[in-house]
Structure 1
Amino acid sequence: MTKIALVFPGQGSQIVGMGRELADARPVTAEAFRQADAAIGYNLSQIMWEGPQETLSLTYNAQPAILTASIALYRALLQDHPEFEFVCTAGHSLGEYTALVAADALSFEDAVRLVNARGRFMNEAVPAGQGAMSAVIGMERALLAEICERVSAEHGPVELANVNCPGQIVISGKAEAVAHAGEVISAEGGRAKALVVSGPFHSSLMAPAADRLAEELKTIEIRDAKVPVIANATAGVVQGAEEIREALVRQVVAPVLWEDSVRLMLDQFGVEAFLEVGSSSVLAGLNRKIHKGVPTHFFKDLETLAKVETALKGESTHA
């Protein structure tokens, strides 16, 4: 049997209509959307299916929407393949919460409420316009970290936020500092592109959001995970309830170490294929740049569900 790692995408993969086809076709999937609406206290599914995109993309809507779509898809997968097993799981930023639901460390309803609150906390942590993020292409991590340290000393914090794959890193911090870092990056032969985001996520400026999330997490039951979960902030395994709680707080201010997480899953667990479950295939693209020899199958609708059969049968063709 192929050793499969189950992975879930994060914010940015939201799109109007996500999950609707499956909800119409599968009662088990439709139930996930009803549960999310009830947990969050408003009609999230209507926003997901009818938009507008601007409303769906608000951080406190996008985060529970992406989680809900991923879990709905995952339930459809389990309905067709109750024998499906994975050796470990991980998610990119917000996707870590989805991974914890799949690992039975968090209930789905609690996770929906948590990421809605997380989105609000992150949105309110820094006044609009004071923070920024940029994607950096074509620069080594060590050099970029040194540039960020140098710029931070003069212009305020700018830090690595997402270490996605070789040659693709996101920086985050004070708007002025991110802009100055972009100039230095260009001079050093890299390329920085400003991202359209509502705040400097995964930076030390998110400390107020982390503090509020820590208080929120005290009200939530967290169980020991049934399978190993790879934490974004450390690219290490978490499985006990308390270490999961600590990892979720730390994740708000720490970089998402996706490249390191993928390498850990390959090296420590001997992963032979990844299965991405969500409304996009963004992680499949990143994973190919990290290790071309290990396939990432993805499942985002009824059409791609059929293609996932190859992963479950242990074949190595790409979805």
Structure 2
Amino acid sequence: MGKVAFIFAGQGAQYIGMGKELAENIEASKKVFEEASEALGFDMANLCFEGPKEELDKTENTQPAILTMSIAAMKALEEKGIKPAVTAGLSLGEYSALVCSGALDFKTAVKLVKKRGRYMQEAVPEGIGTMAAILGLDGEKVREICSLASEKGIVEPANFNCPGQIVIGGEIEAVNFASEKAKEIGGRAIPLSVSAPFHTSMLRPAADKLEEELKNIELNSINVPIMTNVTGTYVDNVDNIKDLLRNQVMSSVLFENIICKMLEDGVDTFVEIGPGKALSGFVKKINRKAVVVNVEDIKSFEKALEVLGA
């Protein structure tokens, strides 16, 4: 086996019951939920395990909930002596990766992402912005259709997930126009049910508020190399993290670049940590030969241990 990478899930993968099995069976995982509850002043285990769904789906709750569940799963792996050679996350998942890297402590991160979620929710009033997944077109074509559609309003590439799957975001009319253009040139467009056009310039108000919040945050040194969504490559200096986190809110997520760089640097095994298997699918589309496992419950945890030889 070559190098192992830990990759962390982003928003949208949440579900009622996430992390329950891990917390009930693994003390280190249970402790993470307790720490989150203490930091935030409400019962995080109850929110993740019981819901209600509409509470879990509120962005300011979703973000700390996914972070908590992801770190709980990571702690289960760490207890078995499994450590990554490199880490990264998709969008919100970058905060889990920062905790994994040692640069951010968990309690600081969970309080920060609750605020980040609220700022993102408030940045664009409901009914103004939207997002759509464009399938079957490359990055250049998607940039072209966004450029054409910009006469209708703001529309920008938001997530470069994997070959043939790029998410766009912006004002509703412009996104719909770009989606139609995508269909005309042989692509597909799937509207996403999101509350705001994340990772576009429309989120600048959230980025500005987050910047103020980040001034009060203390960072530690990086123990595990971490890659960032903003550049698609390594964070080369801990002093750059705050700027990267500010920009990440309103910049394209270069996830495909991150995975390609990891592969280039000898990673052959990817462990997706957190709810769902979306990232596993992206990795497989980028490189079919990569070994990919996920950890979100006891069954997937045991399978991961088997594959990782722990």
Deviation digits for residues 149-204 of structure 1 (CA, Å, limit 9, x no counterpart): 1211x112100011111111100011111111111111111111111000010000
Aligned residue pairs, count: 310
1:106 is aligned with what amino acid? L
Find the partner of 1:246 among 239, 243, 247: 243
Alignment counterpart, residue 279 of structure 1, candidates 270, 275, 285: 275
What residue in structure 2 maps to residue 21 of structure 1? 21
In the alignment, the residues of structure 1 paired with residue 72 and residue 132 of structure 2 have an alpha-carbon distance, to the nearest angstrom, of 32
Q: Secondary structure at the match of 1:230?
A: coil
Contact 1:225 1:239 in 2 (8 A): no
**Contact 2:32 / 2:71 at 8 angstroms: preserved in 1?**
yes
Q: Which amino acid aligns with 2:297?
A: D
2:129 corresponds to: 131
1:265 is aligned to 2:268: no
DSSP-derived class of the 2:249 partner: helix
1:286 counterpart letter in structure 2? F
Please tell me whether residue 196 in structure 1 is matched to residue 182 in structure 2: no
Whole-Å separation in 2 of the counterparts to 1:115 and 1:223: 17
1:185–1:191: 8 Å Cα contact kept in structure 2?
A: yes
Q: Percent identity?
A: 45
Give the Cα–Cα distance (whole angstroms) in 2 for the partners of residues 14 and 111 of structure 1.
Answer: 18
Provide Cα deviations, 1:242-291, integer angstroms capped at 9, x if missing partner: 21111111110111111111001111x21011111112111111100001
Is the partner of 1:163 in helix, strand or coil? strand
Which residue pairs with 1:300 in the alignment? 296
Gaps of 5+ in 2: none
2:94 counterpart (93, 96, 100): 96
SS at match of 1:298: strand
- Residue type of the partner of 1:134? A
CA distance in 1, matches of 2:75, 2:236: 22
Q: Which residue of 2 aligns with 1:317?
A: none
C-alpha displacement at 1:2, in angstroms? 3.0
Q: Deviations over 1:204-256 (max 9, x none)?
A: 00000000001101111112211211100110100422211111111101111
Residue aligned with 1:231, SS: coil
2:38 corresponds to which residue?
38
Q: Over residues 14-60 of structure 1, what are the superposed CA-to-partner deviations in whole Å (9 max), with x where a residue is unaligned?
A: 00011111111122211111110111122232111111212111111
Equivalent-residue separation in structure 2 for 1:218 and 1:307 (angstroms): 41
What is the CA RMSD across the aligned residues, in angstroms?
Answer: 1.2
CA deviation after TM superposition for structure 1 residue 312, in Å: 2.3
Deviations 1:39-88 (A, max 9, x none): 11222321111112121111111111111001001111111x22x23211
Aligned to 1:9: 9
Write the distance in 2 (CA, Å) between the matches of 1:195 and 1:164: 15
Q: TM-score, normalised by structure 2?
A: 0.97
Partner of 1:77: 77
114, 118, 121: which one aligns with 1:116: 114
- AA paired with 2:7? V
8 Å contact 2:18–2:69 — kept in the other structure?
Answer: yes
Name the SS of the counterpart of 2:198 in structure 1.
coil
Amino acid corresponding to residue 220 of structure 1 in structure 2: I
For residue 227 of structure 2, give the secondary structure of its aligned residue in structure 1: strand
Distance (whole Å) between structure 2 residues aligned to residue 228 and residue 25 of structure 1: 30
Alignment correspondent of 1:143:
141
Contact kept, 8 Å, 1:273 with 1:311, in 2: the verdict is no
Letter in 1 for 2:12: G
Matching residue of 1:67: 67
1:291 maps to: 287
> Does the 8 A contact of 1:60 with 1:118 survive in 2?
yes
Question: In the alignment, is residue 157 of structure 1 matched against residue 161 of structure 2?
Answer: no
Residues of 1 paired with 2:269 and 2:38: CA distance? 35
Q: Which letter does structure 2 place at the counterpart of 1:147?
A: I
What is residue 207 of structure 2 aligned with on the other side?
210
Deviates more, 1:216-225 or 1:302-311: 302-311
Work out the CA distance in 1 between the residues paired with 2:180 and 2:276: 32
Q: Contact conserved, 1:138 with 1:167, CA < 8 A, in 2?
A: yes
Q: Secondary structure at the match of 2:234?
A: strand
Say if 2:221 is the partner of 1:224.
yes
Matched-pair contact (CA < 8 Å) for 2:2–2:266: no
* SS of residue matched to 1:238: coil
Task: Give the distance between the partners of 1:279 and 1:150, measured in 2 at CA.
Answer: 36
